[in-house]
Amino acid sequence: MTHVGIARPSTPTGVYFVADHAVCGDRGLVDATRAAVAAGVGTVQVRDKTGSAARQLELVTAVARAVGDRALVIVDDRIDVFLAARASGAPVHGVHIGQDDLPAPLARRLIGTEAVLGLSAQTSAQFAAVERLPAGCVDYLGVGAVRETATKPDHPPALGVDGIGELAASTALPCVAIGGIRASDLPALRRAGAVGAAVASAIGSAEDPRRAARSLVAAWGE
Residue 94: HSE in the Cβ half-sphere, 13 Å Cα cutoff: 26
Digit-coded pLDDT (tens) for 12-51: 999 999 999 999 976 699 999 999 999 999 999 999 999 9
Across the range 112-140, mean pLDDT stands at 97
User: Distance between CA 98 and CA 75 in Å, rounded?
Assistant: 12
Q: How confident is the model at residue 157 (pLDDT cuts 50, 70, 90)?
A: confident
Residue 208: HSE in the Cβ half-sphere, 13 Å Cα cutoff: 7
User: Distance between CA 46 and CA 22 in Å, rounded?
Assistant: 11
Residue with the larger pLDDT of the pair 161 and 154: 161
Domains (ranges, CATH) in the chain? Answer: 14-221 (3.20.20.70)
pLDDT at residue 222 in the model: 84
pLDDT at residue 83 in the model: 98
User: Distance between CA 136 and CA 142 in Å, rounded?
Assistant: 16
Across the range 184-190, mean pLDDT stands at 97
Across the range 161-175, mean pLDDT stands at 97
pTM above 0.75, yes or no: yes
Mean pLDDT over all residues of the chain?
Answer: 93
DSSP symbol at 183: G
Task: Say yes or no to pLDDT of 2 above 90.
Answer: no
pLDDT at residue 5 in the model: 38
Going by C-alpha positions, the residue among 164, 219, 158 that lies closest to residue 186 is 219
pLDDT at residue 189 in the model: 98
Digit-coded pLDDT (tens) for 68-110: 999 999 999 999 999 999 999 999 999 999 999 999 999 999 9
Cis upstream peptide for 145 (omega within 30°): yes
Percentage of the residues of the chain whose pLDDT score is greater than 90: 89
pLDDT at residue 8 in the model: 57
